[in-house]
Amino acid sequence: MKAFIFDLDGVIVFTDKFHYQAWKKMADELGIYFDETINNRLRGVSRAESLEIILEKYEGEPLSGEIKAQMMEQKNRTYRELLATMTPDDVTEEVRETLKRLRERGHKLAIGSSSKNAGFILDKVGLTDAFDAVSDGNNITRSKPDPEVFVKAGEFLGVNPKECIVVEDAYAGIDAAKAAGMASVGIGDASGYEKADYRIETFGELLDIG
């Protein structure tokens, strides 16, 4: 494989606790029930789709698009305050070392994330220079399982989809990789997903695949 495309949240870093805290604050203020089980359904899902999932528990009057946009903005403000506390210590040595070794072997590395905060996160954890390209929520119009984010990552790298392998923690991300015509590796939540071409428990196992 010429290129590895990594999902960010749940693969390189773990920001679901911050997503939870930020959505929880917004939901509490509006009296909407929200818990960790609902939060698990937000993995890999875009911000707008996440809000719709949270609003399944909302019993008030219908909300306008403008109000929903304000709710997302408020959530994102809280989320970014929490992200701002991240440091290079939020990335394991295993992840850092594996990325370095894959690059030394000549693989191109990209991020393929639904998040519009991907650049900010990479900066906070000191990984901006570890990747050759970043495809994220800012350059797509359709979210996973649509293949757009990975197709764009392959284009940014100048690598044919057949020579790209996607590393994902979300089922929708594995489906998106397939739809892009790329191979896939399931890790974390997706390590049990039978549609993944490879399933791994630890990040370092990527060195046995590449």
**Site residues, ligand B16 (CB under 6 A):** 7-10, 19, 42-47, 50, 76, 113-117, 137
Residue length of the chain: 210
Choose one: 6-14, 22-30, 89-97, 137-145; the region binding Mg ion (CB under 5 A): 6-14
Tokens linked to 132: 């050759």
Tokens linked to 175: 């489906």
Catalytic residue check, 9? yes
SS in 3 state form for 150-200? Answer: HHHHHHHHCCCHHHEEEEECCHHHHHHHHHCCCEEEECHHHHHCCCCCEEC
Among residues 7, 90, 132, 136, which one is catalytic?
Answer: 7
Among 4, 5, 6, 7, binds Mg ion (CB under 5 A): 7
CB of 142 to ligand B16, least distance (A): 13
Q: Find where tokens 């790209």 sit.
A: 164
CB of 106 to ligand B16, least distance (A): 25
Beta carbon nearer to Mg ion, 10 or 154: 10
Beta carbon nearer to Mg ion, 15 or 98: 15
Q: Are 180 and 163 in contact (CB under 8 A)?
A: no
CB of 63 to ligand B16, least distance (A): 18
Among 34, 39, 44, 148, binds Mg ion (CB under 5 A): 44
Residue 50 interacting entry, from ligand B16, Mg ion, none, C-beta within 5 to 8 Å by type? ligand B16
**Distance between CA atoms of residues 129 and 115, nearest Å:** 18
Q: Are 16 and 43 in contact (CB under 8 A)?
A: yes
- Hey, which residues are catalytic here? 7, 9
